[in-house]
Structure 1
Amino acid sequence: MGVVVAIDEPPRKSGIEPLVALAKPGMERVNQLILDKAGSDVRMIPEVANHLINSGGKRLRPMLTIASAEMFGYQGDHHIKLAASVEFMHTATLLHDDVVDESDRRRSKPTARIIWGNQASVLVGDFLLGQAFRMMVDVGSMDALDVLSTASAIIAEGEVMQLSAAKKLSTTEDDYLAVIKAKTAALFLAAAEVGPIVAGAGSDERAALRSYGLNLGLAFQLVDDVLDYGGDAGDLGKNVGDDFREGKITLPVLLAYRRGSDDERGFWKQSLEDGDNGAERLEKARALMARHGALADTIQRARHFGAIARDALAPMPATPQKDALLEVVDFCISRLN
């Protein structure tokens, strides 16, 4: 892994608004397609699906697909179906994750599993995955189908890897990066790469957007890891402290654990491996992370991957979409402010 050296840069506008504005016409079509494809004669399916679909997420991943296709001049409608497929894959993952993690709330609302039960959540997630693959087939691009189907398998592998690592403080940083590369970054990568595929761009352009998506996804997840110990539930999309209560081994935990004293490592083992993780212990966990610079160093790693994402787009021609995608990197990091 290379080293990113901090240098003075001119201030840059940081926000998701330029991407939202550029993607708006396409996303209006994506949103309508999502509503159409979430429909079913089985009443519970649209009820469960729409509960999460309409819960206020930014839909960053499908916007990446829209922008990455249009930055190469694409004007058809295949990217609309692929963007909707990406969002369905993401929604299905959230439904499944909440069951696995036994989560009670997401985006300040009760999770689907709390309202309809675990079985309905899993099965509706499966339905959405099926609809996603039907739309991919409609597009008729074997390359796009390969990229998205590969991502689906990798995401599932990442979830199993995370389950295997849960409550295991012997997890290494390399192990953890492998988990988030699969669990989170794989879908960012796929969402960005299918755009140039349907636009008919070349292998260099595909590689650039693939690297951009991968590293943006890594930065995004590392920021989420930090927010779980000091962020806002609205930004995080779930309750602050959920990772701690669920015994998840994230990078801030690993850094604080390895840098701590024997007594401090005993605290982490009791909290995460034995499940003694009440509110007072969460506050102590945050204090230990501050003492050992665990949150600050996780932020630095996020900035490192963000810099790689920006560099990946550097050779691409200047377009409004390129500028917007660069600003998305800053948006992901700025959620910490």
Structure 2
Amino acid sequence: MSATIHRLNPGEPAPSIDGLMQLVAPELNAVNQIILDRMQSPVAVIPALAGHLISGGGKRLRPMLTLACARLLDYSGERHHKLSASVEFIHTATLLHDDVVDGSDLRRGKKAANLIWGNQATVLVGDFLFSRAFELMVEDGSLRVLKILSNASAVIAQGEVDQLMVARQIETSEEKYLQVITAKTAVLFAAACQIAGVVAERGEACEAALESYGRNLGIAFQLVDDAIDYMSDAETMGKGQGDDFREGKLTLPVILAYRRGDEEARRFWRDAMEGRRTSDDDLAEAIERLKSSGSVADTLARARHYGELAIDAIADMPPGSAKTALMETVRFAIARAF
């Protein structure tokens, strides 16, 4: 592995995901067709509810990573098309379940599916999509692929339960937080990248490099998401500003602000995370406290660190448009906060 650290400077021109999208555009069309075909059902509510989210403006980042990593390895087959669709189904299923658990009002800037069709139908359609994901894995026929993606699905579920258990627990440590976001977010990024190494038959070292790229990108991605919950508006985020605050989610900005605060500040954060201070004025106070403590800035600094690790993980891969696009994707994920 190269010892070079590819620094991510927030002062550089804003990165774009366009290179990744252009790189995989023809293959992504094939993946989208598989997604469309496999979400169909004679039970009309299933394609309607699934389509509400799947067609709701998501960038298909995880399946695009699978396609781009396969391109990086010069894989010329088509196995990764179905596997990319499987990855997207896993992701969509978890989003549907999350919105029920969190009681969310918005998802990708639209009314959350559970508010339209109800919690029961939303959970069951999520289960349907999980089943479709596993059908696609089985059709691929690789036990290694099945092991990677099935393990990712189990770890994601564990991460969501773990997050539920630490909700409103103000003493949650930074280490525990990183464990939770690795499970609920980064593991699927890692699996999406690693399976490209499996289908290209490049061996364990290559798989490990792609897994590291995806995992560190996923951690950086979630750190930025948790920071911009306090920095952006609903239109930009696709969800309500301060949702994490009102739900008592212990994200890194809050963990750092609580740890750095005096007794008065700690009392505020205890009251807020335990649900006693959730008004708009309380949110405004929380944002000011996060700024003054440097907690958001330091969360983003950590995101840049994990982004550097992601870029370094593929430093020894052959140069070309795929490598450039994957490196730019890391920069894009972090630049969303600037």
TM range (shorter): over 0.9
The alpha-carbon deviation at position 319 of structure 1 amounts to 2.3
Counterpart of 1:185, as a letter, is A
SS of equivalent residue, structure 1 residue 240: coil
Please report the TM-score for the alignment, with normalisation by the length of structure 2: 0.96
Instruction: Report if aligned partners of 2:14, 2:332 keep a CA contact under 8 Å in 1.
Output: no
5 Å matches for 1:97-246? Answer: 97-246=98-247
Q: 2-side partners of 1:118 and 1:73: how far apart?
A: 43
The alpha-carbon deviation at position 101 of structure 1 amounts to 0.4
Q: Which residue is equivalent to 1:82?
A: 83
The alpha-carbon deviation at position 6 of structure 1 amounts to 6.2
SS of equivalent residue, structure 1 residue 15: coil
SS of equivalent residue, structure 1 residue 168: coil
Instruction: Report if aligned partners of 2:213, 2:314 keep a CA contact under 8 Å in 1.
Output: yes
The alignment status of 1:68 with 2:69, answered yes or no, reads yes
1:293-316 CA distances to partner (integer Å, 9 max, x unpaired)? 000000000000000000000011
5 Å matches for 1:43-54? Answer: 43-54=44-55
SS of equivalent residue, structure 1 residue 238: coil
Structure 1, 215-224 or 254-263: larger mean CA deviation: 254-263
SS of equivalent residue, structure 2 residue 318: coil
Q: 2-side partners of 1:166 and 1:184: how far apart?
A: 17
The alignment status of 1:308 with 2:309, answered yes or no, reads yes
RMSD: 1.7
Moved over 3 A (4+): 4-13
1:230-288 CA distances to partner (integer Å, 9 max, x unpaired)? 12434423111110011100000000111111111111111111342110000000000
Instruction: Report if aligned partners of 1:257, 1:264 keep a CA contact under 8 Å in 2.
Output: yes
Q: Which residue is equivalent to 2:324?
A: 323
The alpha-carbon deviation at position 11 of structure 1 amounts to 5.1
Please report the TM-score for the alignment, with normalisation by the length of structure 1: 0.96
The alpha-carbon deviation at position 40 of structure 1 amounts to 0.1
Q: 2-side partners of 1:11 and 1:160: how far apart?
A: 38
SS of equivalent residue, structure 2 residue 57: coil
Q: 1-side partners of 2:276 and 2:122: how far apart?
A: 26
**Identity rate, percent:** 53
Instruction: Report if aligned partners of 1:85, 1:133 keep a CA contact under 8 Å in 2.
Output: yes
Instruction: Report if aligned partners of 1:247, 1:275 keep a CA contact under 8 Å in 2.
Output: no
Q: 1-side partners of 2:174 and 2:185: how far apart?
A: 16
Which fold has the larger relative contact order, with Cα–Cα distance below 8 Å and residues 6 or more apart in sequence? 2
The alpha-carbon deviation at position 72 of structure 1 amounts to 1.1
SS of equivalent residue, structure 2 residue 220: helix
Q: 2-side partners of 1:264 and 1:126: how far apart?
A: 42
Q: 2-side partners of 1:324 and 1:8: how far apart?
A: 17
Q: 1-side partners of 2:39 and 2:8: how far apart?
A: 47
Q: 2-side partners of 1:198 and 1:57: how far apart?
A: 25
1:13-43 CA distances to partner (integer Å, 9 max, x unpaired)? 7211110001101100011110100000011
Q: 2-side partners of 1:45 and 1:251: how far apart?
A: 36
Instruction: Report if aligned partners of 2:8, 2:307 keep a CA contact under 8 Å in 1.
Output: no
The alpha-carbon distance between structure 1 residues 294 and 77, as it changes in their structure 2 partners (threshold 3 A), is same
The alignment status of 1:92 with 2:90, answered yes or no, reads no
Q: 2-side partners of 1:235 and 1:66: how far apart?
A: 27
The alpha-carbon deviation at position 48 of structure 1 amounts to 0.6
The alpha-carbon deviation at position 12 of structure 1 amounts to 7.1
Counterpart of 1:151, as a letter, is A
Counterpart of 1:175, as a letter, is K
The alpha-carbon distance between structure 1 residues 239 and 167, as it changes in their structure 2 partners (threshold 3 A), is same
SS of equivalent residue, structure 1 residue 239: coil
Q: 2-side partners of 1:291 and 1:310: how far apart?
A: 31
Structure 1, 105-114 or 214-223: larger mean CA deviation: 105-114
Q: 1-side partners of 2:210 and 2:196: how far apart?
A: 8
Instruction: Report if aligned partners of 1:22, 1:67 keep a CA contact under 8 Å in 2.
Output: yes
Structure 2, unmatched stretches of 5+, are: none
